Chains A and B, each alone.
Chain A
Amino acid sequence: MSGKNLSLTLRVWRQTGTTGKFEEYKVTDISEDSSFLEMMDILNEQIIKNGGEPVAFDHDCREGICGMCSMTINGMPHGPLPGVTTCQLHMRNFKDGETITIEPWRARPFPVIKDLVVDRTAFDKIIQSGGFISIRTGSAIDANIIPIPKDVADRAMDAAECIGCGACVASCKNASAMLFVGAKVSQLNSLPQGKAEKDRRTLAMVKTMDDAGFGSCTNYGECQAACPKGITLDFIAQLNRDYAVAKVKDFFKSTGKKRAGGD
């Protein structure tokens, strides 16, 4: 709580259709205690009052958990502060008089819909292809029947913290989704209840990821640095291991008896 107010110059990406450009705006009297998105609200109210169309951007929970907000701020997905989403970034992290550049996620599998809004349904498609444990409602066994060691459960939880925002993809020069896929695969493959579908899941999710146009991982680690939830490269390593095992098993399996219609 500082009570100081900022004046800023904003270079904001404006796009309708397939082409866009930067527009420059000035905002004044921004409280240092405001969040970045509250600053965007003020900008939009100002644009509207001047007869323009407000900047479209995605946002919802504004408490860092839904994964909807997605802005590249001064070249960094979710801005300069490590471990936070755009909505949790506060204006005290900027200086009075500063120029801030605001862009959408830049990645081919995430086409821009308008201004700063991108289409991330490719992530949903990856989950739909295998990011689940097949268990019908009502057919589960008692929750305490399978003991799960605390460290296994904790590691699954570390992986499960992913909010699916796509900052990893936006930060990667190859637009790789390995951190996102690695996190989900690691969560489900590590748990005993997820083992039955381990190979199937891994192959299917990687295939969908590749088909959607996400690039390869070249171990630069930009994704880990950009991730607001601290998902680490360890999970990419696990994905690579699980994928190699599944692929080898699949290779040998496929040389066996011809199966009808199976996968």
Chain B
Amino acid sequence: MKLDPKIPAGPLKDKWTKAKFDYKLVNPANRRKYSIIVVGSGLAGASAAASFGEQGYNVQCFCYQDSPRRAHSIAAQGGINSSKNYQNDGDSIKRLFYDTIKGGDFRAREANVYRLAEVSGGIIDQCVAQGVPFAREYGGTLANRSFGGSQVSRTFYARGQTGQQLLLGAYSALSRQIGLGQVKMYNRHEMLDLVIVDGHAKGIVARNMITGAVETYRADAVILCTGGYGNVFYLSTNAIGCNVTAAFRAYKRGAGFANPCYTQIHPTCIPAHGDQQSKLTLMSESLRNDGRVWAPKKKEDCTKAPSDIKEEDRDYYLERKYPSFGNLAPRDISSRAAKEACDEGRGVGPEVGGKRLGVYLDFAAAIQRYGKIALREKGKVAGETDEQAVLRLGEAAIAERYGNLFDMYQCITGENPYKTPMRIYPAVHYTMGGLWVDYDLQTNIPGLFCAGEANFSDHGANRLGASALMQGLADGYFVLPYTVPNYLASQKAGMTPGGVALDKAAGAFDTVRADVVAFNKRLMSINGKTTPREIHHKLGRIMWEYCGMARTKEGLIKAIGLIQELRKQFWSDLKVVGTADGLNPELERAGRVADFLEFGELMCRDALVREESCGGHFREEHQILEGVEKGEAKRDDDKFFHVAVWEYKGAEEEPVRHVEPLVYEEVKLATRSYK
């Protein structure tokens, strides 16, 4: 496998400018002869498809939902980073770049991250021009807030619905191009394979989820913007339909899969209520500004009502362990600390699978604090004691800040978080690994590009809050529109590299289509007893237990065995009802689970080989054993300062691990500390 990152020469700050000048162009009259396939309509996919349409290319865009507006980018709450420095607080491209590299625990590619910071300003301009209603100050200028991992206010937001508003902006631009006939949109179509002709990606095979028709689609280039693979854990904050299938089937056709073990576990999610749970819901990181995280000191207190646990019997463990960052310690660190408390038997809430998996996020102190301030300003009403007034005014102040989140919590749990502390527990949220891409976001298969969460390039081993939206839109609006034409310019429009017209090139297309039809037929003809959901659920438990927040050599080896067993069960005892030639959610799920069953093993293999702890990847064997940093992650830059890229070698064959060494020209490696 050839892994050339194609990083332009020259100083870091000039690389992108140089690359843009060096890229070959396609003249406007010729663009209409080229076609591009974009799979996925989230921030990366919708923005790329819209931008290509505007440039004059013929675009075919695919999504599995009933409308491109529903892609899961829509669920992002907090905000989007940009180095605008509108707050005059010392932000710059270089600072955003450095924070992102450091946040990723020095495992991202330097040149890509610098470019991300460089184009971040244009994203905000573009979104505002589209009518994205970002929060504003009374003077009419844009408002910002702070997020984890930085000391400046650079996060732009639209209430708690930033992802939704950005996606609707990209969706509106995409819709305009669909209306103009420049983009052909395929809703309710799922990509099931990649077609490679003469070594170049020239099309896909997709299934119409309504009619069941499996068809081939041809183009001069293919771009995957198909999101992350968090649903390998069964329970995650991802949408139910999120899957690894498009990326994984590209991997099986020869694309390298980079750093699959890097997953982000978000510390503040609503805990699972029991075995009937189908997905987890995030409570925004911003709550930790005012909420205090604690667990009971004594195990016997875990079943008590929180109000019956005395102050001195509460362990505010983040404040205890990380006095300078306290409750605002970064995501990976806070998550591990919660797990530790629950593993010690000090978790709270309902028992799920024999364990209480929850800790408290308590607003009582904040309610008192705000209430006392408000009482001085506003006074009390007739017949009210001071205590009652503080409570009333304090709750009102909290409602003003977090009202919608508190409502959501109450809606899901049935508990009133103003009166009793929230229960939270970490959950899988984002995946930093993905298809390997070079500086041009092109995979090792020429003509196959990958953007957004689906690729690996920008977040290293841990993603900072408010950076996923930035990356999706940077890739789609400002990177791919330069790099894809550079590839197209080397191709004859509508032709295979071998010189056959694409619409006549039967061979490869027919073969891959036949493979897909046969694969689906195989799934449908096992006629066993276990449903795809049951197997997915089991896989999720294995992944969470052994490849979740803390990993060990023994655990990972055990998990690989268990997954192989489960895969056998899947292929011998699967039950898929219905038919292949119509709407069949069971068949869709079965196909996705089949891929997760192979992909889960790949994740464990990657985690096993990476004998260090970095960002979201925590190997228990590799932690600091002494001193103030005791228990913290221990990186091994001598052995693992590289990207791990996996090459598929065939069914039941061991994949091969390749390495792209990381080269830092500007940044000096350092230890992350939040003590």
Contacts and interface: CB of A to CB of B under 8 A. Distances in A.
Contacts of A31: 273-274, 276
A25 interface: no
The contact size tier of chain A is 35 or more
Contacts of A150: 136-138, 140
Interface string A14-47: 0010000000000000111111011101100100
B577 interface: yes
A119 B47 CA distance: 24
B545 to A, nearest CB: 22
Interface in B71-123: 71-72, 74-75, 84, 86, 122
A143 B84 contact: yes
Contacts of B185: 124
Contacts of A49: 531
B583 interface: yes
A133 B142 CA distance: 19
B605 interface: no
Interface in B167-184: 168, 171-173, 175-176, 178-179
Nearest to A208: B179
Contacts, number: 229
Interface in A190-232: 191, 193-194
Contact of A59 (B240, B481, B578): B240
Contact of B477 (A121, A123, A138, A157): A138
A153 B281 contact: no
Given A60-B72, A129-B179, A137-B47, A66 B65 contact: yes
A32 B414 contact: yes
Interface string B567-587: 000000001011000110110
Interface stretch (A84-92, A234-242, A244-252): A84-92
Interface in B429-464: none
Contact of A58 (B66, B137, B164, B534): B66
A187 B133 contact: yes
B125 A143 contact: yes
Nearest to B126: A140
A90 B578 contact: no
B670 interface: no
B273 A33 contact: yes
B520 interface: no
A204 B279 CA distance: 40
Contacts of A84: 411
A62 interface: yes
Interface in A45-82: 45, 48-49, 51-54, 56, 58-68, 81
B129 interface: yes
A34 B273 contact: yes
Contacts of B151: none
Given A141-B129, A143-B142, A188-B131, A121 B66 contact: yes
Most buried by A among B67, B129, B139: B129
Nearest to B183: A128
B673 interface: no
B175 A131 contact: yes
A128 B408 contact: no
Given A121-B187, A141-B125, 4 more contacts: A34-B273, A127-B172, A140-B128, A149-B140
18 contacts: A1-B415, A41-B276, A54-B578, A59-B240, A62-B281, A66-B71, A67-B70, A90-B411, A90-B412, A117-B583, A121-B67, A121-B187, A134-B176, A135-B129, A144-B142, A157-B165, A160-B158, A193-B131
Interface of B: 47, 50-51, 54, 65-72, 74-75, 84, 86, 122, 124-131, 133-142, 158-159, 161, 164-165, 168, 171-173, 175-176, 178-179, 185, 187, 210, 237, 239-241, 273-274, 276-279, 281-282, 349-350, 408, 411-415, 477-478, 481, 531, 533-534, 575, 577-578, 582-583, 585-586
Interface of A: 1-3, 16, 30-35, 37-39, 41-42, 45, 48-49, 51-54, 56, 58-68, 81, 84, 88, 90, 92, 113-114, 117, 119-121, 123-124, 127-129, 131-144, 147-150, 153-154, 156-157, 160-161, 163-164, 187-188, 191, 193-194
Across the A-B interface, the 10 shortest Cβ-Cβ residue pairs: A147-B140, A128-B179, A140-B129, A132-B172, A33-B273, A140-B125, A157-B133, A143-B128, A156-B133, A137-B51
